[in-house]
A and B are shown apart, each in its own frame.
Chain A
Amino acid sequence: MKTEEFLEQIKSYIPADQLGSFLSQSEALPMPNRKLESWKYFPTKFLNFEKQEQSTTLDLAKELNRLKAPGMDVLVTRNGQVQTDLSTDKVKLKELSASDFQLESMETKLDVLSVYSEGQKLELVMQDSKALQIIHFIDSDKSFFNFKLNVDEAVELEIYENFVAVDKVQAHFVSEIELKKEAKLKYYSQSELSSSAQVYTHSSIGLSEAALYKSVVSDTDPGKFRRKTKVNLNGERAHADMKAFYLLNEAAIVNHKIDVNHNVPNATSEQLYKGILDGESKAIFDGMVYVAKQAMGTDSQQLNKSMLFADSAEVITRPQLEIYADDVACAHGATLGGFNRDEVFYFQSRAIPEEVALRMLAVGYAEEIFQEVENKEIHKDFLDQFLDRFSQYKVDIHEL
């Protein structure tokens, strides 16, 4: 899309009094397009801001009942607006303005659009809540939602973020999370997107000394999801542990764009992203670990593994390291394959038919990620959703 066309289209999503600020703030920023390294592999043709008719409406009460994780407070949004009647009141919501977000680190006009849009901009003040489920329902043409969260010193928090979107919608989310000294955040996320739904998240997580960020993400749907995650390790002994699984069929696309920045010495990070692809689906793992000159003692692991069930499916994997420090231990890699014949034979030699063996192997493949979910109810959600979707897949030993 041309810049002029984009600017014309997005006007209707920005309040009149914010338009000037948006234009000046985004003036120097590029449009998302294939010339940009970070958008090179995601088809930007989907990023169209023309108004579209939307006829499917979600039954929120019913959906909430289905998705609600026991024992967690809940914050419900619908098309970028918090639904207070469906949310618990433990979490205080503080209104923010666009300038409260890290505008200087935003990379494209699209990142800036969300915070200047009509979507809410909130700080989530957790008060005494230690476990929060954020459920985003998307059933309107275009929507935006932005939040910030500070996790105070030595506080342990669990966030479970769900995205549910119907066809022909496009939603953008910006989130900024700061973990203070020794704070711990366990972040889980799962999506259910209809085939033509698009969701774009732009998450930024900052970690102070000895802080821990652990994330497990599961996308098992046929929609289009671009998850951009930037992790800044700003304190020594901070640790980011990021795991994700994708199960993709038909024309689904999942794009993990990850930047892990080791800005100080002795911080550690780990990424393990795995998935299974069938049909015409596409997975893009675009991960960068940046180690600054002063970040001695960094230990970072990065691995992307995918299994292809069809020749028509596509994986683009870019595990990248950019290291300026001398004394570091960094590893990165990627694998692509199908089922292993010897593994299948091992099952068969124990009386288990090939079809059952392949399904057990696939579950085991996913479970390597899901087992990282410490909350049993959420783990069950992840596994159940995977099993439900995977039961519709045809499995055989697909030799590449």
Chain B
Amino acid sequence: MLEIKDLHASIDGKEILKGINLSVKPGEVHAIMGPNGSGKSTLSKILAGHPSYEVDSGSVSYEVNFKNEDLLELEAHERAQKGIFLAFQYPIELPGVSNFEFLKTSFNEICKSQGVDELDDEAFDKFVREKMKIVEMRDEFLHRPVNQGFSGGEKKRNEILQMAVLNPHLSILDETDSGLDIDALRVISEGVNKLKKSSNAIILITHYQRLLDYIKPDYVHVLSGGQIIRTGDSSLAKELEDKGYDWIVS
């Protein structure tokens, strides 16, 4: 589904990613861990197409509907239309833009790009309310401005609600567990698990093992200094939790 080869990238002339290689297949869950400043969020933003980041070399191939795409050639919104989803570490507040309007526009842009009929207000309202149950989100959040006045936990729930609505092929969850209390972590993790399918894949970026107690990864990668320096199974995350990164980072 996703094949990253020798990816080098920078921001404002500073090289952050220094040769990333990663292969993700449908149905897999990959966890990416690593110390602060190792390039985890940069990787997620580059995959989603943030215009501030510069790809210096390397390739990212993305297979969707039996067709290989050069992901780096696509605009950010085209990537999203083709099923790439980034759950933000710090979800953006959009004053004056209602959550309902935002979600509906987003959903309908995907429908439009796929040649499927768009939903009107009534049909989308019914659809989105079902999805809200997945993250136990109250109805009142639907007509409030996007993320404005939301608590940290509510913002993260809103991200997973968007994931549920957009039904992506590849979801990149950037520190979705940060700032969550134990109950919110459970609800959000259960929500993500409900959205897991054999046809989609998830990349989890996290600092902590606790998220991986809920969402079981098939692979755990350690990113340090802009490179993946070790890959293992879920036991690697436990080892990192016990020992920290010092033993692995030279």
- Residues of A near any B CB (own CB < 8 A): 341-343, 345-354, 356, 360-361, 363-368, 371
Residues of B that sit less than 8 Å from A by CB: 48-52, 75-77, 80-81, 85-86, 88, 91-92, 94-97, 101-102, 105-106, 109-110, 113, 145, 162, 166
**A349 pairs with B80, CB closer than 8 A:** yes
Q: How far is the CA of A346 from the CA of B174 in the complex (A)?
A: 14
Q: In the complex, what residues of A have CB within 8 A of residue B92's CB?
A: 342-343, 346
**Cβ contacts under 8 Å, B80 to chain A:** 348-352
Q: Are B110 and A351 in contact (CB under 8 A)?
A: yes
Contacting pair B96 A365 (CB below 8 A)? yes
Q: Could you tell me the distance between the alpha carbons of A79 and B95 in the complex, rounded to whole angstroms?
A: 40
Contacts of B85 in A (CB 8 A): 349
- Judge whether A343 and B50 touch: CB under 8 Å: no
Q: In this complex, which of B94, B95, B106, B113 has the most chain A Cβ atoms within 10 angstroms of its Cβ? A: B94
Contacting residues, chain B, for A367 (C-beta < 8 A): 96-97
- Report which of B49, B52, B96 forms a contact with A364, defined as CB distance below 8 A: B96
- CB neighbours (8 Å) of A364 from chain B are 94-97, 145
**A356, B109: Cβ atoms under 8 Å?**
yes
The 9 closest A-B pairs by CB, nearest first: A364-B96, A348-B76, A351-B80, A364-B97, A350-B106, A367-B96, A346-B92, A351-B109, A348-B77
Q: A361-B94, A364-B94, A371-B96 are in contact. Are A351 and B77 (CB under 8 A)?
A: yes
Q: Which residues of B contact A365 (CB under 8 A)?
A: 95-96
Task: Report the separation of the CA atoms of residues A352 and B76 in the bound assembly, to the nearest whole angstrom.
Answer: 9
Contact partner, B106, options A341, A352, A361, Cβ 8 Å: A352
Which residues from A are CB-within-8-Å of B75?
A: 348, 353-354
B94: A residues at CB distance < 8 A: 343, 346, 361, 364
Q: How far is the CA of A368 from the CA of B106 in the complex (A)?
A: 21
Shortest Cβ distance from A365 into B: residue: B96
Question: Known pairs A341-B52, A351-B109, A365-B95. 12 more at Cβ < 8 A?
Answer: A345-B76, A347-B102, A349-B48, A349-B77, A350-B109, A351-B113, A360-B101, A361-B94, A363-B97, A364-B94, A367-B96, A368-B96
For A345, list chain B residues within 8 Å (CB): 48, 50-51, 76
Q: With the chains together, A367 CA to B92 CA distance in Å?
A: 18
From A353, A368, A371, contact of B109 by CB (8 A): A353
* A349 with B113: CB separation less than 8 A: no
Residues from chain A with Cβ under 8 Å of B97 in the complex: 360-361, 363-364, 367
Q: Say how far A258's CB is from chain B's closest CB, in angstroms.
A: 23
B81 to chain A, nearest CB (A): 5
Determine the distance from Cα of A343 to Cα of B80 in the docked complex, in whole angstroms. Answer: 15
Expressed in whole angstroms, the Cα–Cα distance for A361 and B105 within the complex equals 13
Selected from A341, A347, A368, the residue in CB contact (under 8 A) with B95 is A368
